[in-house]
Amino acid sequence: MLILAGLGNPGSKYELNRHNLGFMAVDAIADRYGFGAERARFLGITRQGVIETPEGPVNVLVLKPQTFMNESGQSVAQTMNFFKVKPKDVVVFHDELDLAPGRFRMKTGGGAAGHNGLRSVADWITPDFRRARMGIGHPGDKDRVLSYVLANFGSDELDAMKALCQACAEAAPLLVDGQDERYQAEVLRLAPAEKADPRQGGKGEPA
């Protein structure tokens, strides 16, 4: 079993927040591969399905913790314990301030870089999980970060973020097959985004 956990906050008021990009990505993956209906369990919402890879079919569970961002790790840990998997079998999709909008990077392990959802997951399961880092840019001032990530995507950003999520879904067989570098390259090929200073890419709260 491979667990694809998206980070975000539950409830319709947060649905299009920048901080909910992880939710958007795993929803796109579940939809693309016809996963089953949503189930409430493990302090989250799950959908389960199969993704075909060159090495054969792989069982995949999409998880959206419903504990709010700061407690995401509890939901991930419960899911891991139930399926008896290791951190290497968990991929966390999350918004990333330190990448320009639309940029994408895979990484295993490391710190939380101020992301409370990542910090919570690391506290519960160790930092040795795989991370799918989805760039949203930086507002340029650390005092504006909270309002920035909890604001909705601007209309000009949303189309690009939806394209990024669709690319994450289309390339998912590579991710499921453990080919993280090839997955990163394919996502960027499918949803090209300009390399830029993330602090110049952050546009602040939409009007």
The tokens describing 126, both together, are 């160790």
Kindly list the catalytic residues. 19
Cα gap 114→11, rounded to integer Å: 23
Task: Tell me how far apart the 2 most distant CA atoms of the chain are, in Å.
Answer: 48
Written as one string, the DSSP assignment of 4-62 is EEEP---SGGGTTBGGGHHHHHHHHHHHHTT----EEETTEEEEEEEEEETTEEEEEEE
Sorted by sequence, the CB contacts under 8 Å of residue 144 that are 6+ apart come out as 204
Written as one string, the DSSP assignment of 138-155 is --SSGGGHHHHHTSBPPH
Q: Is 190 helix (H, G, I), strand (E, B) or coil?
A: helix
Cα gap 114→166, rounded to integer Å: 27
